[in-house]
Structure 1
């Protein structure tokens, strides 16, 4: 129990400080500042941190299991949300845009800006590749592939429905994190003097703190919280049922230890801010999406101890 408390304190301290810093800055800085910081992290910060943390990551063969588990998690969230809407919800009680936002909140997690620092703080850089591949080949392709297809299916606007499916699936290939991962695989073999290596790690951790700050800034811009009950159901699917299913399945397959914990933690991340981007682009229910983001971000502090207690190696 003492080790669990220490691990949580080591994580919660920078997590809370970073998000609170972002909240305070978001309330006082110009509204465009988070967008500029987001672009910096997207094009420069995140690629640098990926390259740096890959240097200490274990890339042995089992790591390729991570994207498979990510897709299983995505499909599980989608299936449960679909079952809820089609079987347990009275017909026509929810509009199409509400249903689309509900499904996205149930399946897409913040496995990048939030999943990376959580994994690194609790597990360390050795298993960072598991979290990275879960995000890059799972969540990212899921968001811009099946996520966008779902959004277009439930959208109140027809403007985006002219896109061909192959165009949607190619969208993640335009993201710099994909190419930074490929570069990082080669850079991993480059030997660097210890002071420079330490400097790069300090830089990468600073970038992750900026990512937490950006999350706080984004949260400071959320002003409308409606459909609490509906959003809470989607968050429960995403943050409770899906990670529990991942953990139990991996245990049954004989996959234990820190790799299992990393995959459970990634599966337990709250709804991604990408769900709001997609909801805005495809005219889904933004109020439901915003509410799910707020509930999920706050709920992470409550759910993390559960997964450490259940699946952290003793």
Structure 2
């Protein structure tokens, strides 16, 4: 857990320093890294990890409850964004995005191991792979296409943008139908190890975007704790785990790891989707920063207490 926290702080700090020192060049590098992740690294990881994942054997009704919870939370975020905060269409999309896309991998899995022990890792990995990963490249990219300014105006244009700017979706589809022979052990291991590169790259990109100048010339670091960011924090860290507990009480008990994962921070991928489709990148960066800071702080405090 300590290494994850240090990596997050270091990568974000490097991104902040790069933008302050190099300005437009750092922003251009961040955009190139997003392109590399979307069109290269993420499809490779998704195909070889999912291709060897066996869905049978009781992954648990808790995973189904996870999707139900995401649907409820996404709807709440949309209603709050449109009816209460009166946000623009791109900002509303970002509010929904940062609510339903969750960092259950780099934060959730280590935190689960710290709080619940090694035996809780299996359900934590199942949640991350079968809920968070699938949500990102289906619902996440769909929200981007539906609300973004770079997806076109007509519904057909937005559908086309969803399908053509989402290579990971096609990698997931291919992985589900591919025989195991197309995913040899060596490439599966490379894909799994490649996921470690996503953490420093993602938080470097976050650091760059946090320090992009505002119109008045003031730097946006640390990011402002605005009402939309507070909404994301409440939905992510309070409503999400409470909702899963409630749904579990109505159906069956779910592993404690699911509840921990449900309350994790907004995913870095929300920043990537916001960039690709023209959502509110500043709001996405601020929400990721504040929810990550809260999750990391809570992890450290709880690990010392328990």
Alpha carbons 1:34, 1:218 under 8 Å: kept: yes
Q: Does 1:133 align with 2:130?
A: yes
Q: TM-score, normalised by structure 2?
A: 0.68
Give the superposition deviation at 1:132: 1.0
**2:215 matched residue in structure 1:** none
TM-score, length-scaled by structure 1? 0.67
Corresponding residue SS for 1:254: coil
Distance across 2 between alignment mates of 1:53 and 1:124: 17
Matches within 5 A, 1:117-266: 123-124=120-121, 128-149=125-146, 151-152=147-148, 157=149, 160-164=152-156, 166-167=159-160, 170=163, 174-175=167-168, 177-178=171-172, 181-182=175-176, 186=180, 201=189, 203=190, 206-221=193-208, 222-223=210-211, 224=220, 225-226=223-224, 228-257=226-255, 261-262=257-258, 264-266=259-261
Name stretches of at least 5 consecutive residues in structure 2 with no aligned partner: 212-219
Query: Which residue matches 1:71?
Result: 67
Q: Following the alignment from structure 1 to structure 2, what is the Cα–Cα distance between the partners of residues 45 and 96? A: 30
Going from structure 1 to structure 2, the CA distance change for 1:160 and 1:297 (only over 3 Å counts) comes to: same
1:194-237 deviations in whole A, cap 9, x for unaligned? Answer: xx79xx75x55642332221132023211222452331122211
The answer to whether the 8 Å contact 2:47/2:171 transfers is no
Cα distance, 1:45–1:281 mapped onto 2, change above 3 Å? closer
Which residue number in structure 1 is paired with residue 217 of structure 2?
Answer: none
Q: Deviations over 1:51-92 (max 9, x none)?
A: 776699663343275663343233222232244346655xx5
Q: Quickly say closer, same or farther: Cα 1:143–1:159, change in 2 above 3 A.
A: closer
Please give the secondary structure, in 2, of the residue aligned with 1:104.
Answer: helix
Aligned to 1:23: 12
Distance 1:188 1:306 in 2: 44
Of 81, 95, 98, 1:105 maps to 98
Counterparts of 2:164 and 2:112 in 1: how far apart (Å)?
Answer: 26
Name stretches of at least 5 consecutive residues in structure 1 with no aligned partner.
1-11, 309-314
Structure 1: distance between partners of 2:123 and 2:130: 13
RMSD: 4.3
Q: Deviations over 1:4-50 (max 9, x none)?
A: xxxxxxxx222113223323543359625545555555455445655
CA separation of 1:33 and 1:21: change in aligned 2, threshold 3 A: farther
Aligned length: 280
Are the aligned partners of 1:54 and 1:129 in contact in 2 as well (CA < 8 Å)?
no
Distance 2:273 2:154 in 1: 16
| 1:255 CA displacement | 3.3
Once the two structures are superposed, residues 170-204 of structure 1 have per-residue CA deviations (whole angstroms, 9 ceiling, x without a partner) of: 458631641574378615997x6xxx79xx75x55
